[in-house]
Structure 1
Amino acid sequence: MTAGTTRDQITAAADRLFYERGFEATSFADIAAAVKLSRGNFYYHFKSKDEILAAVIARRVDTTRAALDTWAAAAASPADGIRSFIGMLIANRAKIMRHGCPVGTLCAELAKLDHPAQGGAAALFTLFRTWLADRFAALGHGADADALALHALMRSQGIAALATALHDEAFIDREVEALEAWLDALPHPLPAREPTPHLDEETARCSSSH
């Protein structure tokens, strides 16, 4: 097993444990046991839990970017891309009911700890926010694109938080349906057309002569 592969396995195990148990409640020993490494071998790859946290956040950023790229490529329209984001609540509802939203729970915990990495974790929300805003702008909501993106994020986080508390799949289904209805009810004006370039008289005469 190469050093890179071992480091990746440690990061993947830590990612899962931080999500399921929380960052503070997960120890070095927990992560080492998950990948079946001795503490000596473990310390060869990571010297502190904060180093592991940084690797986990970087992994989540890469995973999020890959998901956003996939949604964008598969979407027939900007609205379809937004529906892929909303549908994430359905696709991951079993995990969400057990452990909450992986982004929201990590950000909340790091904020409570006043941990220096909280800004890095919040960058995951920024990825979603920017991507959603681009979709809303493509639908013609340039001035309101960022506000609409934040609204979609806010509602998805609220659904995830209550789903964890209520353990109610029907609640998730209803709220996702309502969020999709909100999207469908938005006016979808066409993006502004680019102005036609002005032709000077000489250029116009040359064009008309052909």
Structure 2
Amino acid sequence: MGARKTREQIVIVADRLFYEHGFEATSFADIAGEVGLSRGNFYYHFKTKDEILDAVIAQRLAHTRAMLEAWEQASTSPRDRIRSFVQILITNRTKIVAHGCPVGTLCNELAKLEHAAKDDAVRLFTLLRAWLSRQFVALGREADADALALHLLMRSQGVAALATAFGDDAFVRREVADMEAWLHAQCPADRPPETCRPA
């Protein structure tokens, strides 16, 4: 395996371990062991765990941007694009029930640690917030687009937290259905976006 591929594999493994066990609880040895590298070879690629964290956050940002771009290309309907975001809870429900939301758990842990990278991790939420806000603008809700985006982010995080706490798959499905009903109420499908204004 070449150096670039090895580095990529380290980041992939570290991302999973940070998500499943937490950043602080994951050691260099844990990551090196899963990748199959000696400590010496491992240090060739990353000198500190913080360097790995930076690479993990950068990778998550890149993957999130790619996901949002794919949703943009898949549909011209802002409502359908927002539904794609809501449906993440269904698509990833097994992991969410086991470990929570990967964005929320990382942001919470780094905030508690007062880690220097906490603001970098929040960029993941900022990216989602800005994208959702643009979709609500396209739905004709320009005046309150950011508030609606934050509301949806808040609900998705709440669902993820309680799903983890209670291990309840049916709860996730009920809440997603309720979020989709809420989305429809913001601008019913039979109304053109330009007529959808806050009450």
What SS is found at the alignment partner of 2:193?
A: coil
Q: Alpha-carbon deviations, 1:120-140, whole Å to 9, x = none?
A: 000000110000000000011
Residue 53 of structure 2 is aligned to residue 50 of structure 1:
no
What per-residue deviation string (whole Å, max 9, x for no partner) do you get for residues 158-193 of structure 1? 00000000101110010000000000011365348x
Give matches, 1:2-81, under 5 Å. Answer: 2-81=2-81
- Cross-structure match for 1:203: none
Task: In structure 1, give the amino acid aligned to 2:173.
Answer: D
Aligned counterparts of 1:22 and 1:65: Cα–Cα separation in 2: 23
Letter aligned with residue 118 of structure 1:
K
Aligned residues: 192
Give 1:71 shift.
1.0
Q: Distance in 2 between matches of 1:45 and 1:191?
A: 52
C-alpha separation between the residues in 1 aligned to 2:44 and 2:92?
Answer: 34
Matching of residues 47-196 of structure 1 within 5 Å: 47-187=47-187, 190-191=193-194
Greater radius of gyration (CA): 1
The percentage of aligned residue pairs carrying the same residue is: 66
Question: After TM superposition, where is structure 1 displaced by more than 6 Å over at least 4 residues in a row?
Answer: none
* Aligned equivalents of 1:48, 1:102: Cα separation in 2: 22
Whole-angstrom CA distance in 1 between matches of 2:194 and 2:63: 30
- Segments of structure 2 that go 5 or more residues without pairing to the other structure are none
**Which range moves more in the overlay, 74-83 or 150-159?**
74-83
Which whole-Å CA distance do the structure 2 matches of 1:107 and 1:190 have between them?
A: 34
TM-score by length of 2: 0.94
Q: Which amino acid aligns with 2:45?
A: H
| Counterpart residue type for residue 169 of structure 2 | E
Counterpart of 1:161, as a letter, is A
Instruction: After superposition, give the CA deviation of every residue in 1:62-94 in whole Å (9 maximum; x if it has no partner).
Output: 010011111111124000000000000000000
Alpha-carbon separation, structure 2, partners of 1:149 and 1:73: 20
State the Cα RMSD in Å. 1.0
- Give the TM-score normalised by structure 1: 0.90
